[in-house]
């Protein structure tokens, strides 16, 4: 019996599979378990004109500051301890993201469900009577084909499918075939992103043998199946500076430095870029380690 094929790739090989104009779904949740190594690889690339679909955090901020986003579909963009992601805030205030679609969080989830099921839309009640429909008049409503107890046909929001060309997600562990598991408290809808996409790439803290995915871990935490995964990348600390519980928590000191640079002058941001974002992933991780060494030395 043949074994499943190996799908292991590098971050740069994943980015080489992407192209201008793609719709890319980025998993995670705000400042939690974002595939930041893949995002940084996109920053280093010539990719542009992207549609980004995400519950956003620094992924949106970095890509927006670099001018790579043509259209942004989101429910929020936050760093939690910094309520509004500063690079995103700057982009919205300056109008440098040509098109934005802001959805209710439940509508966003329903749009992913529709895409995962290859349906054009799914009905729900969220959005009715809100400015979501005012600001997005292309979102239609439909009447239920079934009468309620009063004989009325309820009006519902027809949430369009959030179809993705590619999904990028970060999990704690994966095997070389693309099966992946989370070890923290929440799956953050990463499975929906994968299912809603034509192709999906998983980065992870560690690639392990398939049997190791369920050692001391409940089987139900096996979140992503190899059947839906195009490629898998081992990227230790690849979610930094977001959380990847229990491997590490959010790097608040670094996030504070990021937010200060993003909210500061153009020179402040240029200095941050030069120090942390001008090299490859190994250079980034080394620069972060040096940053923390400096912080400890001056504490």
Tell me the domain boundaries of the chain. Answer: 11-104+162-247, 121-160
User: For the whole prediction, is pTM greater than 0.85?
Assistant: yes
31-78 pLDDT per residue, tens: 999 999 999 999 999 999 999 999 999 999 999 999 999 999 999 999
Low-confidence stretches of the chain (pLDDT < 50) are 1
Architecture of domain 11-104+162-247: 3-Layer(aba) Sandwich (3.40)
Tell me how crowded residue 215 is: count the other CB atoms within 10 A of its CB. 9
pLDDT of residue 218: 59
Whether the Cβ atoms of residue 295 and residue 253 lie closer than 8 Å to each other = yes
Q: What is the DSSP string of 97-133?
A: SSEEEE--HHHHHHHHHHHHTT-SEEEESTTTTSHHH
């Amino acid at each position: 019996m043949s074994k499943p094929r190996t799908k292991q790739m590098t971050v740069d090989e994943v980015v080489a599979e992407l192209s201008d104009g793609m719709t890319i779904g980025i998993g995670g949740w705000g400042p939690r378990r974002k595939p930041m190594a893949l995002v940084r690889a996109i920053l280093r690339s010539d990719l542009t004109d992207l549609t980004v679909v995400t519950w956003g955090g620094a992924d949106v901020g970095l890509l927006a500051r670099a001018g790579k986003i043509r259209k942004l579909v989101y429910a929020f963009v936050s760093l939690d301890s910094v309520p509004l992601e500063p690079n995103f805030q700057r982009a919205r205030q300056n109008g440098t993201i040509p098109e934005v679609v802001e959805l209710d969080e439940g509508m966003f989830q329903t749009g992913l469900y529709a895409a995962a099921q290859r349906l054009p839309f799914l009905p729900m009640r969220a959005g009715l009577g809100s400015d979501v429909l005012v600001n997005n008049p292309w979102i239609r409503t439909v009447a239920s084909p079934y009468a309620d107890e009063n004989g009325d046909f309820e009006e519902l929001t027809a949430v369009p499918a959030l179809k993705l060309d590619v999904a990028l997600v970060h999990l704690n562990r994966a095997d070389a075939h693309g099966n992946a598991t989370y070890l923290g408290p929440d799956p953050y809808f990463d499975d929906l992103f994968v299912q809603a996409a034509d192709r999906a790439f998983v980065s992870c803290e560690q690639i392990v043998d398939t049997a190791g995915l369920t050692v001391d871990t409940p089987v139900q935490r096996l979140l992503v199946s190899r059947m839906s995964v195009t490629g898998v990348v081992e990227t230790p600390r690849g979610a930094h500076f977001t959380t990847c519980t229990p491997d590490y928590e959010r790097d608040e000191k670094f996030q504070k430095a990021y937010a200060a640079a993003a909210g500061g002058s153009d020179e402040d941001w240029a200095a941050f870029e030069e120090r942390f974002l001008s090299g490859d992933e190994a250079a980034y991780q080394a620069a972060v380690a040096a940053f923390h060494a400096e912080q400890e030395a001056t504490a």
